[in-house]
Amino acid sequence: MTTGRARAAPKGRADTVPGRGAGAASGPPMAGEGAPPPEGECLPPEGEGLAQEGEDLPREREGAPPEGDDLPSERQGLENPPPEADDLPPEDGGVTADRFLGGRFVALQPARGHHRSGADAILLAAAVPATAAGRVVDFGAGVGVAGMAVAVRCPATTVTLVEIDPALAALAVAALALPENAGLAGRVAVVTADVTAPAAARARAGLPRGTAETVILNPPFHVPGRVRASPAEGRAGAHVLGPGGLDPWLRTAADLLVPGGRVAVIFPAEGLADLLAALAGRFGAVTVLPVHPRAGAPAVRVVVRAVKGRRGGLALLDRLVLHEPGANTPTPDAAAILRDGAPLPPG
């Protein structure tokens, strides 16, 4: 997730950077194994079934027993920092390299001070069918986990990661240059841009109208004033929507998509009404997949998919349950999606 506030790209960098266009630079070492996870914040009142890291659901992390409802995962330390290390957030406490989809790709993430991607990003990527083709654009991409997961799962796609924060965009570029991500070479690009900017500005950044078959969004979750924002600016911006709410995000998605293009959004279940209102008049054939931490617990997320310009009502899909009763063990359906790259139920 990211904020809708405009922020200039750092000097000496192009706004659009091909995924393999940068090598690792020298500099201070990054955090290695055992780096502490960022503090949780803004968790829903029920709390159950959520990971310790920001707003995300369980994420893979190896080398330590699961914390809370986390799934096992893989974390590794790197000897070299990403390119343009000066762009890293000043409050960062190091950078971790985290493996997703059972180790099929690696993402670089700030250990502290910013939102950390997890299962929310993988669930969003799973909303794109494996047979999808054409351009997929990831709005508010952060360090690129959702978009890279789409590229891994959907070999006929090219992916554009759009992120306003230059520090997070730099980490996405660095991750794409890792040998572990060599299979994504030439298929994933990073754009530093504000998705809520006017159309002319977006076009100059490489996001002209009608050029994407699919748009995926993991937008900030909260309305200003309804939650206590994190004192870390990077995390607060990733969790709190701008003054226009969701509408600017969905307006831009509709503008960028071709006729009949598809949008997928992951959002808190309690915000479903706001999300449906932002889709109205632009998208139809809406499907809603509720995501529950456990059977019998309220849904904490919804994954909503819709088609640009399509008419048709709303369909509520069968729920996805993440954990077995009374245990941290993932259900077979959740493990298939989060570890093996299976798609969400058709929608």
Among left, alpha and beta (phi > 0; psi -120 to 50; other), residue 173 is alpha
The pLDDT assigned to 242 comes to 66
| Residue 32 lies inside a defined structural domain of this protein | no
| Residue 29 lies inside a defined structural domain of this protein | no
Q: Would you say residue 161 has pLDDT above 70?
A: yes
pLDDT, averaged across the chain: 77
What residue type is assigned to position 209 of the chain? R
| Residue 259 lies inside a defined structural domain of this protein | no
Give one DSSP letter per residue of 63-100, joined into a string: SSPPPTTPPP-EEE--SSPPSSGGGS-TT---EEEEEE
pLDDT (tens digit per residue) in 225-263: 554 544 444 444 445 776 789 999 999 999 999 999 999
| Residue 10 lies inside a defined structural domain of this protein | no
Q: Domain range holding 154?
A: 16-23+38-250
Q: Would you say residue 72 has pLDDT above 80?
A: no
CATH number of the domain residue 231 falls in: 3.40.50
Number of domains in the chain: 1
| Residue 4 lies inside a defined structural domain of this protein | no
Q: Which residues pair with 294 in a beta bridge?
A: 323
User: Quick one: tokens of 58?
Assistant: 């369980």
- How much is the pTM? 0.74
Q: Would you say residue 18 has pLDDT above 70?
A: no
Q: Would you say residue 79 has pLDDT above 70?
A: no
22 touches 174 (CB < 8 A): yes
